[in-house]
Amino acid sequence: MGADVTIEGLEELMRAAELADRQLVQDVASAVRTACRWGAAEARNTKKFKRQSGALEDSIDGYTVTAGPDFVDGVVEAADQKASLLNDGTRPHDIHAKAARGTIGPLPKGQSRSRSKTTTGRLTFQTADGRWVSTPMVHHPGTSPDGFMNRGGAKAEEVLQQELADAAERAASSLSR
């Protein structure tokens, strides 16, 4: 014995659920993009180190790398090679001059203008009191961690949680109409 049951409005409900699902997928992707941008801005704006060339700050970016029907991957990164040293800090270390002769300007890592491997270079710099010093080696005391990328990541997470909550609320609201 069979019974036929008709549910009024089922087709409309199914269409509304499908639209809400599509909108939610778009909103999640938008939330990840927004969170990554906010995280990158936070890292740039809360750094405590002194700006030199601006290359490090300019290398901080937030973006999505992949997106599929049920996932979105976002990244907040600083591509400059000094970023991790400033973010995490460094231990005390020695800095040795490279062999050089008549050096003007920077050289690629591991290269010198010297023809002889036995020629020692000198580090020449001006001290805080204005004296010029030339030495083959200096002891760097290390750097304190800044944590600017950590703050950027925390901001991205905070923004993502709020954006996802807003997206879920919009989806629920569209279904209740």
Q: Mind listing the pLDDT tens digit for each residue in 120-157?
A: 688 888 989 999 999 999 999 999 999 999 999 999 99
Tens-digit pLDDT profile for residues 106-119:
666 666 665 555 55
Judge whether 74 and 65 are in contact, CB under 8 Å: yes
Q: Across the chain, what does the average pLDDT equal?
A: 86
The structure tokens listed for 63 are: 């973006």
Tell me the Ramachandran region of residue 9: left when phi exceeds 0, alpha when psi lies from -120 to 50, beta otherwise: left
At residue 56, the pLDDT reads 94
- DSSP for the chain? -------TTHHHHHHHHHHHHHHHHHHHHHHHHHHHHHHHHHHHHT--SPPSSSHHHHHEEEEEEEEETTEEEEEEEE-STTHHHHHH-B--EEEEPPP-SS--S---TT--S-S-TT----EEEE-TTS-EEEESEEEE--B----HHHHHHHHHHHHHHHHHHHHHHHHHHHHH-
Residue 74: which residues within 8 A CB-CB, separation 6 or more?
A: 32, 33, 35, 36, 62, 63, 64, 65, 156
Could you read off the pLDDT of 24-49 as tens digits, one per residue?
888 999 999 999 999 999 999 999 98
Cβ contacts of residue 30 below 8 Å, gap of 6+? Answer: 163, 167
